[in-house]
Chain A
Amino acid sequence: MAVTTPPMTAAPELVRQRLQGKKVDAAGLIFRALLLLALLVTMAVLVVLLVEVLTGGWGVFTTRMGEFLTGKLGSSAARSGIAQGLRGTFFIGAFVVALAFPLGVGAAIYLEEYAPKSRFARFVDINIRNLAGVPSVVYGLLGFAIFVKALRFLTGPGSANGATVISAGLTLAILVLPIVIITAAEAIRAVPDSLREAGFGVGATRWEVVRSHVLPYASPGILTGTVLSLARALGEAAPLILVGATTGFLSEGAGYGLSTLQERFTAMPIVIYSWAGRPQPGFASNTAAAIVVLLAVVLLANAAAILLRNRYEKRR
C-alpha cells in the first residue's frame, strides 16, 4: 500500500504558523527579556565588583606583595600588611573544622539514623532551622557573654581579656553548626534505604551500617556542605567585632604557636572593615588588596565545593 508522505521541508514552519497564528508572541518575548535582564544585572554586579577590587588592589600586589602578605597592621598604609589577619582567619578555620564539622555531622547522623521522625528529632530540627536564621551579630553577643566573659580563664586570662582567637573560633563554630547539620542531614537523607537494609540484613549494628555504608555514600554531599560553611565562617566579620577583634594597631598576633592563641587577635574580614573606614587614600588600595586575598580563599573553597557536587550529581 502506497502512502503519500507530504513534503517535509516546509511542514514544521507551516504547522507552527497554523498553530500559533501569524502573530509574534510579544508578551512572551518581553517577559523573557525582563527575566534575562534580572539575571544579567545580578551577574554584571558580580563582574563590576571583581573588576573594581582587582584594579584597586593591583598596585599593592605589583609593588609590595611580599611585604603586604607578611607585614603587620600599622598606621602607615604603605607599610601595613595582613599577616595577622591571615593568621586569625587560619585559626578560625581550624576551630570550625575541628569543632563544627564533627559535631554537626554527628548531630545529623543522630537525627537521620538514630531517631528519625521522633518527637525529639522534630524539635531539634525546628530549633536548628531557627538557629540558622539568627543574625550573625546575635551570635557575637552569645560569644561575648559566654567565651569572652564567663569562660575568660580558658579563652584568654592574660592582657587580652578573653578577646582572643579562641573565643572567635568557638563563636564561629557555633555560628556555622546549624548549617553543617542541615546540609549533612540532607546528604544522609539522600542515601537509599536499600543500602541500610542490606547492612542490617547481614547483622551489622547501626553504627557499623552508618560507618561503612551511609557515610561513604553521603560523604561528597557532606563535604560540599561543610566546605561551604567553612567559607561562610571565614568571611564573617560581625560576630568577631562583638567578640572583640582588634581593629586598630596590633603588635602581637602574628605567631602560629599554640601559646599565641591567648593573645589579642584580628582576622581578614576585620582588617578589611577597619581599613575600609580609614580616609587616607593608601588604605583604599590596601583594602582592595586584602579583599582580593580573602575572596581568593573563599571562592576557592566554594569552587571546590561546587565542582565536587557537580561530579557527584553526574555519578548518580
Chain B
Amino acid sequence: MADTSVEVAPFSVASLRGNPGRIRKEAAIRGVFFAAAALSIVIMALIVLTLARETYTFVSQVELAQLWSDGWFPRRALYDIRTIVVGSVLVTVIAMLVATPLGMGAAVYLSEYARPRVRGVLKPVLEVLASIPSVVLGFFALTWISPEIVQRLSDRASLFNLAAAGIGVGILTTPLVASIAEDAMGSVPKALREASYGMGARKVTTSVRVVIPAAVSGLVAAFIVGVSRAIGETMVVAIAAGASGGSLFSLNVFDRGQTMTAAMASLATGTDAVVGAGLTFQSLFFVGSLLFVLTLLLNVFADRYVRRVRQKY
C-alpha cells in the first residue's frame, strides 16, 4: 500500500479570514451606507431642534393677550392662535367630507368590483391625480371650484374662500385615502370572501359585512393619514383662501380665511427674509411646531392601525 500522507500547506485561522483588502473595502462600504441611514435621524433631530429653539423664544417672550385677540396679524404682533387653528379645522373637515366618500368609494370599487383590466386603467388615473402639484389644485380651486361650485351654493361667498380651498385640499387627499384603503382591503385574505360567498351572501353583503369590517383598521388609518395630509397642505389654501397678511377670527367658510400652513406661507411671501415687528419671525416657528406635533401624533396613531391589519393577516 502506498503512503497516503501528502504534504499539507500550514493551515491556520488567518487563512480563513480572506483577503484583508477586500475586508477593508467591505467595512468602508458598510460605513458609507450606515451614514446614509443615520442621516435620517440627524434630519429629524435638526427639525426638532430648530423648531424648539425659536418656539422657546416665542413662548417665553410673547404676552398671553397677544395669543388671544381678534385675529391673526403677525406683522402687528397679534398672534391669535384660535383664528388659524379654527381655519385649519374648517378646511380639514371640508376636505375630509370630500375625500372620505370619494376615496373610500373608489377603493372599495377597485378592490372588490373592478375586473383586473378595468383596474389596470383606473388605478393609473388615480395615480396621475395624486401626482398633480398642489399649486395647480390651488389655481383650479380659485378659478373653477370657487365660482362654479361654492358661489352657487352661497350668493354671498367671496371669490377667495375657505370652502373652495377645503374642496381643493379634499381632491388632493382623495388618491392618498383611496390608495391606503385599497391596500388595507387587498390584504384581507380571499378565504374570508369565499367563505361568505359559500354561505350564499351577495357581493354587496360580502363587501359591507365581511371585507370592510375585516379591513376597518386600515380604513381608519387611511382616514387619519388623510386628515394629517389635509392639515399640512399649504399651497391650495394659500392661493384659494386668499387671506394674505392676516385674517380676522371667523367661522364663515364662504369668507376669506387663514390656516396654520397658509399663515406660514403668507408670512414668508414677498419679503427677502421674514421681517416684522418683534416676534414675527419666531411666530413662524411656533406655528410650525404646532403643525409638526399635530401631524406627528396623527401619523403615529395611523401607523398603529396599519400595523394592526398586518398582524391580523
Contacts and interface: CB of A to CB of B under 8 A. Distances in A.
Interface in B274-311: 274, 284-285, 288, 291-292, 295-296, 298-300, 303
Contacts of B248: none
A94 interface: no
B140 A49 contact: yes
A114 interface: yes
A130 B44 contact: yes
Contact of B33 (A35, A43, A110): A110
Contacts of A174: 43
A133 B235 contact: no
Contacts of B57: none
Contact of A38 (B37, B101, B142, B144): B101
B205 to A, nearest CB: 8
Interface in A62-114: 102-104, 106-107, 109-111, 114
Interface stretch (A5-13, A138-146, A193-201, A252-260): A138-146
A251 interface: no
Nearest to B53: A145
Contacts, number: 265
A302 B265 contact: no
A269 B101 CA distance: 29
A151 to B, nearest CB: 12
Nearest to A132: B299
A205 B135 contact: no
A174 B234 CA distance: 18
Interface string B206-235: 011000000000000000010010011111
B179 to A, nearest CB: 12
B202 interface: yes
Contacts of A261: none
B265 A137 contact: yes
Contact of B235 (A129, A163, A237): A237
A133 B269 contact: no
B195 interface: no
A238 B265 contact: yes
A59 interface: no
A130 B101 CA distance: 26
Interface stretch (B3-11, B60-68, B78-86, B123-131): B123-131
B133 interface: yes
A231 B127 CA distance: 12
B135 A269 contact: yes
A299 B128 CA distance: 7
A130 B296 contact: yes
30 contacts: A28-B202, A32-B204, A34-B105, A38-B103, A38-B104, A39-B122, A42-B171, A45-B129, A52-B140, A106-B33, A107-B36, A115-B37, A133-B296, A134-B295, A135-B292, A137-B232, A137-B261, A138-B232, A141-B284, A146-B46, A235-B131, A236-B134, A237-B134, A241-B268, A272-B136, A273-B135, A273-B235, A294-B136, A302-B128, A302-B131
